[in-house]
């Protein structure tokens, strides 16, 4: 790795070497225990992919503080971190944000990465989502 890239990576709190997969719902802690027991993260919703966030750990506390206000938060503070380079080598990629019309121009082989984005209406870019294709 060149020295300039190394300096950039060390100076930015918003860049993480890890991707995080969080559980959710009333059984979030049990789900985490199952991931550990099985040594596997499963696509329990049948989406055809598994989701991760690239948000750095130092910034996730604020997200969970916000989620604490809701009865059914998007995620619980239980999850697992995996080195980004390992997931990348396994086929994980960052999602492609775009308008609903743009989804159709993507080849079918890339549509698993697509997330609709509509400014001020439907915006999940804060998740900095990555996906691993498959179940």
Range of the domain at 22: 3-92+128-133
Please, what is the average pLDDT of the chain? 88
Number of domains in the chain: 1
Note the pLDDT tens digit of each residue in 102-131.
999 999 999 999 999 999 999 888 889 999
Q: CB burial class (10 A; 0-12, 13-18, 19+) of residue 57?
A: exposed
Residue 73: its H or E element: none
Query: Is there a domain that residue 103 lies in?
Result: no
- The whole-number pLDDT of residue 73 equals 66
Q: Is 48 part of any domain?
A: yes
Instruction: Provide the pLDDT for residue 126.
Output: 83
Is 47 part of a structural domain of the chain? yes
Contact (CB, 8 A) for 75 and 67: yes
pLDDT under 70: residue ranges of the chain: 1, 73, 135
């Amino acid at each position: 790795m060149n020295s300039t890239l190394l300096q950039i990576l060390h100076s930015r709190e918003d860049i993480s070497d890890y991707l995080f997969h969080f559980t959710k719902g009333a059984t979030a802690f049990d789900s985490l225990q199952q991931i550990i027991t099985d040594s596997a993260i499963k696509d329990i919703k049948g989406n055809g992919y598994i989701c991760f966030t690239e948000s750095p750990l130092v910034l996730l506390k604020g997200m969970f503080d916000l989620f604490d206000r809701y009865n059914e938060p998007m995620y619980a503070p239980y999850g697992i971190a995996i080195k980004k380079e390992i997931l990348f080598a396994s086929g994980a990629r960052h999602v492609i944000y775009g308008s609903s019309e743009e989804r159709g121009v993507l080849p079918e082989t890339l549509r698993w990465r697509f997330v609709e984005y509509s400014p001020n209406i439907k915006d999940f870019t804060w998740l900095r989502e990555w996906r691993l294709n498959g179940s």
